[in-house]
Amino acid sequence: MKVLFDYDMFAYRAASAVQYSANWADEGQPDLWTLHAKLSDGVRVFEGLINTVLKDLDATDYLMCISPRSNFRKDINPDYKSNRKDTLKPILLNPLEDYVREHHDSITMPNIEADDMLGILQTDDTIIVTQDKDLLTVAGMNYNHITKEKRKIAKDDADHWFYMQILMGDRVDGYGGLEGVGPAKAKKILEGVPMGERWAAVEEAFEKKGQDDALLMARMARILQVEDWDADKQEVILWTP
């Protein structure tokens, strides 16, 4: 079984782990603080994380999914992840990416995130490795490398979680879902609703609140799958109910 890694998540973790701040007081500059990190340390931590997962899964075949700089969600919703634009990222992210592209099997697809690549590439012969709850919307094998939970996500469960995500939104990512709705209310709205009728239930809930952005919320929440990607044109096919 081929392992699909959410590279971004592992790189951020490794780069953050080896970064440290230094005060130059001993050099006569007590007000000067700088950030430092050694690429070799970042590589060591990254390789350790990856090798641990491969050992846990008894696997050798894998692919790193690396996000590009552009992102189609920002094109359809300027608020997407806008709250992160001023966040200082670990200084090793770019050199670590260069290292990984040279030494590991990796892929980048235009204008989509690593999460979407995982969804598009998922088959009966792959397993997604991530701790991101958004990937619970993708059917198939899933491994949470933090909790060590390996499970097969059924199509109906993946579909249900997708509609839960539309209703709840994700304020960390910059889309609000249905106003005033959290996990409990979202679950109640979808309770007992069969797979083919969930969109109608979601749309009705939005209409009752006077919100007209249900489709936008769905497109923000949708982790792309093979049917959402035009391989010939290398373009996103926006989700449509």
86-132: pLDDT as tens digits: 678 899 999 999 999 999 999 999 999 999 999 999 999 999 999 99
pLDDT of residue 173: 78
Element (H, E) at 36: strand 29-36
Average of per-residue pLDDT across 75-96: 82
Output the CA–CA distances (angstroms, integers) from residue 177 to 87, 192, 215, 221, in the order listed.
24, 21, 10, 9
Tens of pLDDT, residues 133-179: 999 999 999 999 999 999 999 999 999 999 999 999 988 777 889 99
Residue 112's Cα: distance from chain center in Å?
Answer: 10
Percentage of the chain beyond pLDDT 90 is 81
Q: Residue 79's pLDDT band (boundaries 50, 70, 90)? A: confident
Phi-psi category of 86—alpha, beta or left, where left has phi over 0 and alpha has psi -120 to 50? alpha
Residue 221's Cα: distance from chain center in Å?
Answer: 11
Cβ atoms of 5 and 126 closer than 8 Å: no
DSSP string, 99-149: HHHHHS-EE--TT--HHHHHHHH--TTEEEE---GGGGGS-EEEEETTTTE
| Distance spanning both ends of the chain, measured CA to CA | 32
Residues 6+ apart with CB under 8 A from 47: none
Q: What b/e sequence results for 125-145 when a residue is b if at least 16 CB atoms lie within 10 Å of its CB, and e otherwise?
A: ebbbbbebebbbbbbbbbbbb
Beta strand 20-24 pairing with 29-36: antiparallel
pLDDT of residue 174: 76
Q: Exposed, middle or buried: residue 224 (CB in 10 Å: 0-12, 13-18, 19+)?
A: buried
pLDDT of residue 3: 98
Rounded (5°) CA angle 121-124-129: 55
Q: Residue 84's pLDDT band (boundaries 50, 70, 90)? A: low
Sketch the domain layout of the chain as residue ranges. Answer: 2-23+33-236
Of 3.40.50.1010, 3.40.50.460, 3.30.930.10, 1.10.287.3240, which CATH number belongs to 2-23+33-236? 3.40.50.1010
Cβ atoms of 67 and 101 closer than 8 Å: no
Residue 32's Cα: distance from chain center in Å?
Answer: 36
